[in-house]
Structure 1
Amino acid sequence: MRMPQGKPGRRAAVPPWLRARHPDPVQDDPRICPDQTRGQLGLFPTPPRQFARTHAARISDRTVPGFEAVREELRKMADERQIRARTIWLWRLEGIARLALAARDPDREQVAPQALKDLLYSGPILGQALHRAGLLAPTASHRLVPPRGTGPTRQGGQRDLDLRGQCAHCLAWANDRRVLCAACTSWGYHIRKHGGGEAECNRCRRTLMVSDGMCRMCRIIVAETEVDTARIAMDYGDQLWFARPHAAGLAVGPRTSGTAAARGRFAHKRRLARARAADELQPSEHVLNPAQLELFPAPTRDWSRLNTATPPALTTAAADLVADFFAYMRGRGWNINFFRGSIRTLRILTGHLGADAPIRECDIRALVSTGIHVQGARLINYLRLRGLLEAQPPRDLSVARARRSASTISSPAFAAAVHTFIDVLLGQGSTPSRPRSSKTIENYVATVLDTIETWIAQGLGDPREVTKKHIEDALKPLHGDQARRLHTALRSLFRALKRERLVFRDPARSISLPSNRPVPAGLPSDRVAGLLDRIDDPRERLMVAFVAIYALLPGQLVQLQRTDFDRSKGRLRLRRAGRMDHIVYLDEFTLRLAAAWELHRHHRWPDSSNPHLFVNRNTAVDETGPPISTAAVTLLFQRVGLPAGRLRIDRIVDEAHHSADPLRLIELFGLSTASATGYVLSAHPDRKPGPIAP
């Protein structure tokens, strides 16, 4: 085109007739690198292609993710290299960079290194810019896609395009040797190395190298479906099969758990799935409102039908309470890994009920009873300490078992009589009386239960029909302790019924049993020698010392208070109901054992508020301060091989051999006059007075 006169160096405007014949170029041509659905896997390998600047001009107005970062890196590189024609250099490379980013595979966020060859001479410099922007994928250790134009050939030299780039086992487009990809080759090698071989896959019915009944491809599909962070998995879905003879016989199954590996990328996907699920949780619709009045007492909630695997989202108050529970456990020196069940219980309760109103203790116990992965003992103590527990009325388990046993009696009259008997033993009869211990009540009811059922089977329907002969017949086949226990229980039963005027006469009043009081005897010295050397626990050593040296009973051990032990004066006070307290003076050896136990207790449970001297891992952290069970002491002496009662008798008999003074035994062990006299006579039978002695 000629230049106009008088204005050298300036192009003339394009005439209108010429612009009409050549319209403006397309700035976003959908035929150039069309947009694809992100996250979708590619089915076919990328065909060979070449990009030019004309292609870049046709998508110059398209918005491509990541382009601004690459443009910034290109400008920094131009400044670093001090390029003279900076504008032209950037204009050319920015267009090619837009093409490279628009041509990315839909399942990738970065540009593949092999795609730089499609950019011709601009590939190396753009590769540096993409790498600096973090948009260049790392180079694979092996070729993912076979060289173009390679593959098995048919007769006559024609290549088989149907199998080009596809593994025969996993159908992946990753195959250089035209038979198996590198991953399937390694899979088969490891299976053969561990003694495996080919077998029919339970899922796709192909005869391949299998592990746990599935080939490698089926395991990958099941694992990807199990841990589905992209949310593209379908129930009973599978990979798309093309022209394969086994496609029609594919046995597609549902999603199977436990197939995905515990480590690697699946572990990362699991964390992402858990984080996404936690973000999508919504607060519960049943959060308790402390300002709402209660219309009627609500029954205990049934937690068995609740899906506790995915609890609702925690409110702000509930999240603060869970964090405070963590701090509470750490402050007490507990290993949190051992008490995950308590944390899980608190998350479930606060997730459904909130943390604004107190939580009922019955709801906690009902939730704990549904499975083994939840715990409630420490949680109940923590909520009681924070004032967030609505405690249920105390319930004596021994009395509850006695009531339940009485309700199982087939005769209503006898069942009512046994319930009245329990009321009298509890001191709740028509006439006030001293209540008996709950364990004694349970033992009495358990002892008379079989005898009452026998009377009912004989035709008796009411306690008034029981006679002296019925009781004698029940005692006749029994001997020793069994006969004495039944006689004592029946005598107490009919005495209570007579006082409540449920029977006219007491048939057990005139029945007596001959009692043979055993003579106390000591133990062989070889059984007692070295007794403490067999015990390592400081608590157990102190318990054995109290029994072996001071003849304490197991019931006295569990009821000892820390205030009863005065280490500075070396004294121990034994509380006795209805009698004066007994003072025990401790020797130096026992004081050392007591100091060792106190140090061990303070080191293990520094914040324990239990007032009892002996505690275990359950009672030490219980804010109510319960004592340990007598069964714990009994089990200790069973492991030692000597019952506590025999060891106590041996100690008293040994002292009676040395002193022969009943007052000395009364002073040391707090015995009654009759018991002390019996021990002295057993140790010195020659001092027993004769029938004519004064």
Structure 2
Amino acid sequence: MRMPQGKPGRRKAVPSWLRARLPEPVLDDPRICPAQVPGQMGLFPTPARQFARTHAARIGDRRIPDFEAVSEQLRKMADERGVRARTMWIWRLEGFARLALAARDPDQHQVANEALKDLLANGPILGQALERAALLAPPPSHRVVAPRGTGPTRQSGQRDPELRGQCAHCLAWANDRRVLCAPCAHWCCEVRKRGGIEAECSRCHRTLMAIGGLCRMCRIILAETEVDTAQVAMEGGDQLWFARPHAAGLAVGRHLPGTAPLQGRFVHKRRRARALAKAARRLSEHLLDPAQLELFPVPLRDWTRLDTTTPPALTTAATGLLDDFTAYMRGRGWDPAAFSGSIRTLRIVTGHLGAAVPIRESDVRALASLRGSLQGARVINYLCLRSLLEPQPPSDARIARARHYASTLSQPAFAAAAHTFIDVLLGQGSNPSRARSPKTIENYTRAIVEPIEAWITDGLTDPREITRKHIEDTLEPLRGDRARRLHTSLRSLFRALKRERLVFRDPARSLSLTSSRPVPTALPSDRVAGLLDRLDDSRERLMVALVAIYALLPGQLVHLQRTDLDRSKGRLRLRRPGRIDHVVYLDSLTLRLATTWELQRHRRWPDSSNPHLFVNRNTAVDDTGPPVSVSMVQQLFQRLGLPAGRLRVDRIVDEARHSADPVRLMELFGLSNLSATGYVLSAHPDKRSGPIAP
């Protein structure tokens, strides 16, 4: 329409009849960038599109968040650039700004950088305004082209437009146009940094970046379904996920190398799984009932077939016993890492057998022998204190070895005779006698095995065929201690067989052996001087003093008890089975060393119940009260470079030089008359022709 003259810049009003024929302009068309629920993730990728000014005019009245901030930045940019048509320039860009803000994904606050291309030529300058208003999302940090063979592709490795928005590696869906999601792109970069290459996944058989033969998707699926508390594992399929903020992280489980640490939801899932498995446990079917009588002896249980990975539930009594055992161990001051194997052993035993009936010691020992992580010694001591242990018959390792030596004989008649010989030495023959020590029984049995095997090789089949000539031929090539040991063993063997009427006569009865006995000699004074100054431990100093001053044997040291020491009277009692006890009168130095050791022992083990005088870190906490081993004493003197036997002989010889009285030696050291006389003759050779000469 023409503008009327005289009124420039003003249009004539539209007639009413014409306005009635034209529809009202649409200023908020819901078909243009429809409003979405804030925070909801888009299910499908945004299709390719182009915005025009007509689209902006159709949402001119829509209230769009953050629009005022962009409009303000556009006005500042117009002033900075000195735009002449300022109003028209701002009006055009504000329309496209409405379109860009209205087209944002519902879960995003900023405009995606890829969406600027939809604004045609206005994209670059509008991108500057959005960036100034902090409403422009940064471009993707990694842009990885999908490798060949990972999905439908076109030339130059480009994905099909219909599949845009789905990650080529983990198949996660997102409302964007990325070839790879950000976590998978980061995964590929990390694998390349470690020197990894594309390889076939052992699970999905796709050629992708993999670690340990598994791609990222398979690793996450295995981690998610490792503990399937949510019941999401599927047979023949995999559960997919969304990308962006809802994408699965890089934590891929504890059983896979080179993965993220154990944290987050995987720890909670495993903890929940353990709680569910513990709640699902049932009581054992083999619980012992104290009211049930025993019809026949129960054989030794075979614990090797037991599955210790899933122990049964504990009864109320077993739970209380396990808690009391833990408190008992902590009260002894033991490290929790040191008695975890004992707690595990008691947990398995009480879980399967209960705590209402005493547990057999053989069951605890059999279970503890299965693997190194199970320990039974402390469990046996604790059950014995609580009167819940059925002890097994005592057995001696030396006697067991002697029985083994006897069983190795190839001829049954000789093997039976060797076992009878052991029974006689134990005092279990037809005529009861005093039992010999286990060490003596072992030495005798070991000595006779070799000559008996030689006789069997020569064709002998029965002990009654052995004559005096056989024994003499066996002893003829031997000399020294070896000959004396074998001679004594064979005489003891045939004497026992004659008592049990297994042989008609004793071929070794009148057999004698001529041998030289070593003369006891003293040690050089430089080797004995300063022995106590080389030691710092009070226990070792007391041991050396008892051997060097009072000529005690290592076997006597280990069997000394605390009640044998009377510090008020300065006396020490030596127990001698089958003989009268020997009393030693201690000097001030030895009493001072004994007091120092008692104080040290009380500080280190204040609640030790071991009755022996000398203990170590193992025997002090053992409630059965075992003695220390003789080898511990021998190792002490080996470090000093002086055997305990030589030091004992030196002390007796030195006393014999000063007194020359065998009776005094017998009183001081508890020797026999023959031994005391030998020491006196060794110290005074000139008296061999006197009244004490043999």
Task: Give yes or no for TM over 0.5.
Answer: yes
Query: Are the structure 2 counterparts of residues 159 and 240 from structure 1 closer, same or farther at C-alpha, using a change threshold of 3 Å?
Result: closer
Distance 1:191 1:355, change over 3 A: same
Looking at structure 1, the residues matched to 364 and 419 of structure 2 have their Cα atoms a distance apart, in angstroms, of 30
Q: What's the offset of the Cα at 1:305?
A: 0.6
Percent identity over the alignment is 70
Task: Tell me the equivalent position of 2:485.
Answer: 485
Q: Equivalent residue for 1:296?
A: 296
Query: Matches of residues 19-58 of structure 1 in structure 2 within 5 Å?
Result: 46-47=43-44
Compare 391-400 and 536-545 and name the one that shifted more. 536-545
CA distance in 2, matches of 1:466, 1:181: 94
Q: CA offset at residue 374 of structure 1? A: 1.2
> What's the CA shift for 1:343?
0.7
- Describe the SS at the equivalent of 2:305: coil
Q: Give the equivalent residue in structure 1 for 2:196.
A: 197
1:378-389 mapped onto 2 (5 Å cutoff): 378-389=378-389
| Secondary structure of residue in 1 paired with 2:337 | helix
Is the Cα–Cα contact under 8 Å of residues 191 and 197 in structure 2 kept in the other structure? Answer: no
For the 8 Å contact 2:425–2:436, the answer to whether it is kept is: yes
Q: 1:653 is paired with a residue of what secondary structure?
A: helix
C-alpha separation in 2, matches of 1:210 and 1:639:
59
| Residue type at the aligned position of 1:352 | H
Look up the SS of the partner of 1:508 in the other structure. Answer: coil
- The 2-side partners of 1:487 and 1:210 are apart by 77
Of stretches 300-309 and 565-574 in structure 1, the one that deviates more from structure 2 is: 565-574
Task: Say which is worse superposed, 405-414 or 672-681, in terms of deviation.
Answer: 672-681
- Mapped to 2, the partners of 1:656 and 1:646 lie a distance apart of 15
The CA deviation string for residues 110-156 of structure 1, in whole angstroms up to 9 with x for no partner, is xxx964979xxxxxxxxxxxxxxxxxxxxxxxx99989xx9999899
Whose radius of gyration is greater, 1 or 2? 2
Counterparts of 1:643 and 1:472, CA distance in 2:
34
Provide, for residues 637-693 of structure 1, a one-character-per-residue CA deviation record: whole Å limited to 9, x for no partner.
334433221222222233334444434433332222332333333334344438999
Whether 1:328 and 2:325 are equivalent positions in the alignment is no
CA–CA distance in structure 1, aligned partners of residues 692 and 520 of structure 2: 25
Amino acid at match of 1:636: L
2:275 — aligned with what? 275
Q: TM-score, normalised by structure 2?
A: 0.71
What do the CA deviations read for 1:396-452 (whole angstroms, capped 9, x no partner)? 332233223323322221122112111111112222211101221122111111221
Give CA-to-partner distance per residue, 1:514-563, whole Å, 9 cap, x none.
Answer: 22111222334444444445444443332222222221101101111110
Structure 1 residue 183, shift from structure 2 partner? 4.2
Q: Does the CA-based 8 Å contact 2:45-2:176 persist in structure 1?
A: no
Trace 1:215-294 onto structure 2 (pairs within 5 A): 215-233=215-233, 257=255, 259=257, 263-265=262-264, 266-294=266-294
Aligned twin of 1:371: 371
* Residue in 2 that maps onto 1:415: 415
In 1: Cα distance, 2:233 partner to 2:139 partner: 26
CA distance in structure 1 between the aligned counterparts of 2:526 and 2:106, rounded to whole angstroms: 87
Shift of 1:496: 0.7
Label 1:45 to 1:279 Cα distance change in 2 as closer, same or farther (>3 A). farther
Q: 1:607 to 1:240 in 2, by over 3 A?
A: same
Question: Paired residue for 1:13?
Answer: none
CA contact (8 A) 1:145 1:176 kept: no
Distance 1:469 1:279, change over 3 A: same
- How do residues 181-196 of structure 1 correspond to structure 2 at under 5 angstroms? 181-184=181-184, 187=187, 196=195
Count of residue correspondences: 550
AA aligned to 2:495 is R
Matches of 2:238 and 2:595 in 1, distance apart? 70
**Cα contact 1:145–1:174 (8 A) shared by 2:** no
Please name the residue that 1:510 is paired with: 510
CA RMSD of aligned residues (A): 3.8
- For the 8 Å contact 2:232–2:239, the answer to whether it is kept is no
Question: 2: distance between equivalents of 1:659 and 1:685?
Answer: 14
Q: Paired residue for 1:79?
A: none
Structure 2 vs 1, CA of residues 363 and 678 (structure 1 numbering), >3 Å: closer, same or farther?
Answer: same
Asked whether the 8 Å contact 1:167–1:175 carries over to 2, the reply is no
SS of 2:333's equivalent? coil
**Aligned match of 1:357:** 357
CA deviations 1:442-466 (Å, max 9, x no partner) are 2211111122122111111110000
Counterparts in 2 of 1:659 and 1:691: CA distance versus 1, 3 Å: closer
Q: How does 1:435-584 map to 2 (within 5 A)?
A: 435-584=435-584
Specify every segment of 5 or more residues in structure 1 that has no aligned partner in the other structure, as ranges: 1-32, 34-41, 50-112, 119-142, 243-254
Report the CA distance between 1:468 and its aligned residue.
1.0
Change (3 A) 1:451 1:200: farther
Are the equivalent residues in 2 in contact too, given 1:475–1:486 (CA < 8 A)?
yes
* Structure-1 separation of matches of 2:346 and 2:241: 49
Distance (Å, rounded) in 2 between the aligned partners of 1:256 and 1:263: 6
- Report the CA distance shift for 1:518/1:167 in structure 2 as closer, same or farther (over 3 A): farther
The one-letter amino acid of 2:262's match is R
Distance 1:655 1:182, change over 3 A: farther
Deviations 1:372-402 (A, max 9, x none): 1211111111111111112222223322332
SS in 2 for 1:304: helix
Cα deviation 1:563-591 (Å, max 9, x = unaligned):
00112222211112233222222233333
> More deviation in 646-655 or 487-496?
646-655
Residue 11 of structure 1 is matched in structure 2 by none
Q: Is the 8 A contact 2:562 2:611 kept in 1?
A: yes
Q: Residue 198 of structure 1 contacts residue 207 of structure 1 at CA under 8 Å; is this kept in 2?
A: no
Report the AA paired with residue 567 of structure 2: R
SS in 2 for 1:203: coil
Alpha-carbon distance in 2 for matches of 1:374, 1:418 = 38
In 2: Cα distance, 1:479 partner to 1:415 partner: 27
- How far, CA to CA, are the matches of 2:642 and 2:192 in structure 1? 60
Checking the alignment, whether the CA contact within 8 Å between 2:284 and 2:312 is kept in structure 1 is yes
CA distance in 2, matches of 1:641, 1:692: 36
Displacement of 1:182: 4.7
Counterpart CA distance in 1 for 2:234 and 2:532 is 67
1:317 matches 2:317: yes
Q: Deviations over 1:465-485 (max 9, x none)?
A: 001111122222322222111
Check whether the contact 2:407–2:415 (CA below 8 A) recurs between aligned residues: yes
**Structure 1 residue 665 corresponds to structure 2 residue 665:** yes
> Aligned equivalents of 1:646 and 1:332: distance in 2?
40
The CA deviation at 1:629 is 2.6
State whether residues 399 and 441 of structure 1, in contact with CA within 8 Å, keep that contact through their aligned partners in structure 2.
Answer: yes
Q: Is the 8 A contact 1:308 1:348 kept in 2?
A: yes
Q: Which amino acid aligns with 2:321?
A: L
Deviations 1:253-287 (A, max 9, x none): xx994657663133443323222211111111221
**Structure 1's 373 and 151: CA in aligned 2 closer, same or farther, altered over 3 A?**
closer
Distance in 1, Cα, partners of 2:600 & 2:374: 29
Give the Cα separation in 1 of the matches to 2:139 and 2:368.
56
Structure 2 counterparts to residues 7-18 of structure 1, below 5 A: none
CA distance in structure 1 between the partners assigned to 2:332 and 2:449 by the alignment: 46
Equivalent-residue separation in structure 1 for 2:222 and 2:599 (angstroms):
56
1:605-661 CA-to-partner distances (Å, cap 9, x unmatched) read 322222111223443333332322323323333344332212222222333344444
Residue 605 (structure 2) aligns with: 605
Give yes or no for the alignment of 1:641 onto 2:623.
Answer: no
What CA distance in whole angstroms lies between the structure 1 residues aligned with 2:336 and 2:574? 38
Residue 511 (structure 1) shift: 2.0
Aligned-residue offset at 1:289: 1.0
In structure 2, relative to structure 1, the CA distance for the partners of 1:356 and 1:474 (3 Å cut) is same
In the alignment, the residues of structure 1 paired with residue 303 and residue 422 of structure 2 have an alpha-carbon distance, to the nearest angstrom, of: 34
